[in-house]
């Protein structure tokens, strides 16, 4: 920035105005803007690559962290906490997705910082001081969106899908008369079996510390039948209820990883709504009055974004659209307070 030899003196009647030459001297050329954009993009990509290397190294821990909400919901519904690998490359694909998508989420604060840095390069000094407040706030809002998904949205969405799948119940699997003619008949239960004494297993809240060989018990906490053999333990899960649902909620590991991480990225970006609103009002691209008049369209846009970025269920769409609109109102409130603060001295 060029220093003026004879800077203008402020008076009570008119505000200080910089000469046109001084304003022009602070502007960057088109080539300088492209160079700054290139530098910011390179730094952002390097941050993503570095985050990807770190996420690949801690891939197993990240996978266990992502699976905790699913395993908790599965256990609460009487299911065995697990994920399936449906193809030979399924686990490896999930590992690569963890490295790529987790890196994008972890490096997003750095990417946001580079974005604001590029924007601030074309602003004046007093405008850059104002923009510095945006960086920590936008990073905090992104982290808040990811945490909101992990601790609130994800358990509710998984519970909805598991409950929906379990609603497809069949009361009896016995073949009908036509089936008996077309299909081979099952062996009848021997009559002596009905007179045998009932077989009982001990029901324990936890596994015994030192069980003997050929000892069996039922763990009521994990809902598993456990049998101790000389070579180790055998176990199998129990279903809750008298009849097993024909539709079991068994998810593939690669699809689940993509599902969670893409939702995390979507919620993190959706929580940036107040920053966008304040920036539009501060830069005078859109006035707060115009945004107030467009509330119904903003609400419709939040619903559309929630429908696009979330699974096709009402719960997850509401859990994204609702906070987005509330954050829009919060950003609009802050923008209006800022406008009034600047208008009050001018009017006074």
| pLDDT beyond 90 at 133 | no
Residues 6+ apart with CB under 8 A from 158: 69, 70, 73
Decide if 68 contacts 150 (C-beta within 8 A).
no
Higher pLDDT among residues 35 and 188, named by residue:
35
Six-digit token string for 88: 């030979």
Q: In the predicted model, is pLDDT for residue 182 greater than 50?
A: yes
Question: Which residues are 224's β-sheet partners?
Answer: 219, 237
At residue 65, the pLDDT reads: 93
What's the pLDDT at 242?
A: 60
Query: Could you tell me which residues are beta bridge partners of residue 235?
Result: 226
Between 126 and 226, name the one with better pLDDT.
Answer: 226
Tokens of 266: 């979507």
Express each pLDDT in 42-59 by its tens digit.
Answer: 999 999 999 999 998 998
DSSP H helices, the chain, are: 20-26, 30-57, 59-76, 90-106, 108-120, 125-132, 134-148, 154-166, 177-182, 191-194, 253-270, 273-282, 288-293, 295-309, 314-347
Phi, psi of 229 (to 5 degrees): -115, 165
Residue 241 has pLDDT above 80, yes or no: no
What pLDDT does 1 receive?
Answer: 42
| Mean pLDDT, residues 126-132 | 66
Ranking 65-69, 206-210, 236-240, 320-324 by mean pLDDT, the lowest is 236-240
Mean pLDDT of 326-346: 78
Task: Please provide the average confidence, as pLDDT, over all residues in the chain.
Answer: 80
**pLDDT surpasses 80 at 126:** no
Six token digits for residue 287: 């006035």
Distance separating alpha carbons of residues 245 and 168, to the nearest angstrom? 7
Separation of alpha carbons 55 and 33, rounded Å: 33
300 confidence band (pLDDT: 50, 70, 90) = very high
Whole-prediction pTM value?
0.73
Strands 216-219 and 203-204: parallel
Position 344 confidence tier, pLDDT thresholds 50, 70, 90: low
pLDDT for 11 beyond 70: no
Instruction: Render pLDDT for 140-163 as a digit per residue (tens, 0 to 9).
Output: 899 999 999 999 999 999 998 888
Arithmetic mean of pLDDT, 111-137: 74
Q: How many CA atoms lie within 13 A of 130 on its CB side?
A: 13
Report phi then psi at 252, rounded to 5: -80, 140
Q: What percent of the chain has pLDDT over 90?
A: 22
Write out pLDDT tens, residues 23-39: 444 556 667 767 878 88
Taking only the tens place, the pLDDT of each residue in 68-122 is: 999 999 888 777 788 888 888 888 888 888 888 899 899 988 888 888 778 776 6
């Amino acid at each position: 920035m060029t220093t003026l030899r004879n800077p203008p003196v402020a008076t009570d009647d008119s505000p200080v105005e910089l000469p046109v030459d001084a304003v022009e001297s602070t502007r960057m050329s088109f080539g300088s803007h492209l160079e700054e954009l290139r530098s910011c993009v390179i730094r952002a990509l390097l941050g993503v690559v570095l985050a990807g290397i770190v996420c690949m190294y801690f891939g197993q821990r990240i996978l266990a962290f992502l699976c905790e909400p699913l395993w908790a919901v599965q256990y609460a519904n009487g299911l065995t906490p697990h994920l399936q690998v449906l193809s030979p490359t399924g686990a490896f694909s999930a590992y690569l997705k963890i490295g790529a998508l987790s890196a994008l989420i972890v490096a997003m604060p750095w990417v946001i910082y580079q974005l604001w840095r590029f924007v601030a390069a074309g602003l004046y000094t007093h405008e850059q001081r104002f923009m510095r407040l945006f960086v920590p706030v936008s990073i905090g809002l992104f982290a808040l969106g990811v945490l909101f998904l992990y601790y609130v949205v994800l358990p509710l969405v998984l519970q909805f899908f598991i409950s929906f799948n379990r609603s497809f119940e069949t009361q009896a699997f016995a073949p009908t008369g036509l089936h008996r003619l077309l299909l081979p008949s099952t062996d009848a239960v021997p009559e002596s079996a009905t007179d045998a004494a009932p077989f009982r297993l001990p029901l324990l809240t936890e596994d015994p510390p030192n069980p003997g060989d050929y000892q069996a018990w039922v763990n009521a906490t994990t809902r598993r039948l456990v049998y101790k053999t000389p070579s180790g333990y055998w176990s199998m899960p129990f279903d809750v209820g008298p009849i097993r649902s024909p539709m079991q909620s068994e998810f593939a590991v690669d699809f689940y990883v993509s599902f969670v991480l893409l939702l995390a990225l979507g919620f993190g970006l959706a929580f940036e709504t107040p920053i966008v609103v304040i920036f539009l009002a501060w830069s005078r691209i859109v006035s707060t009055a115009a945004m107030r008049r467009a509330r119904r369209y903003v609400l419709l846009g939040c619903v559309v974004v929630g429908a696009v970025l979330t699974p096709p269920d009402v719960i997850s769409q509401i859990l994204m659209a609702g906070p987005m609109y509330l954050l829009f109102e919060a950003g609009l409130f802050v923008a209006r307070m800022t406008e009034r603060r600047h208008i009050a001295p001018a009017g006074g």
